[in-house]
Structure 1
Amino acid sequence: LPDTISLACKNYITTQINYNTCVATHLGDTDFPGNQYRIYLNKFGPLWRTTHDTINLYDENGLIVDTIDY
């Protein structure tokens, strides 16, 4: 985070804006969990080719959770 952000703001961002807090806050929502998730990859521009590519989703143990071929 930039040095121009206050320590209190940095602490809030790192402790409150994360996966665990999101789940704890929204687990009871009727539309959570849904069938769509978004992740931040810190990358700009296209992530995959527009045709003929395979996308694998891995768990923390390196095992494939899901695969999409297109």
Structure 2
Amino acid sequence: MTDADRFGTATVMMVLAVLVVILLVGVGVLQLYLSEEAGPLLRNLVIAVILLAFSTALYRQWRREFNSDSK
């Protein structure tokens, strides 16, 4: 894998994770609007926070490996 591929993979993964978080929050807000129950929104927010934490940690690890390999 080339250096450009590693950078691209990490960036694309982070963008996809952010899109999924936006989708989860949007669906939760829509469910809250339609049913007026906060449970689905809270569940989606917890899933989004966990996903964001894991994807951020993975992104940082990939970027650290990319920077150490390029030196």
Q: Common fold, TM-score beyond 0.5?
A: no
- Give the TM-score normalised by structure 2: 0.27
Higher helix share: 2
**Which gives a bigger RCO, structure 1 or 2 (Cα 8 Å, sep 6+)?**
2
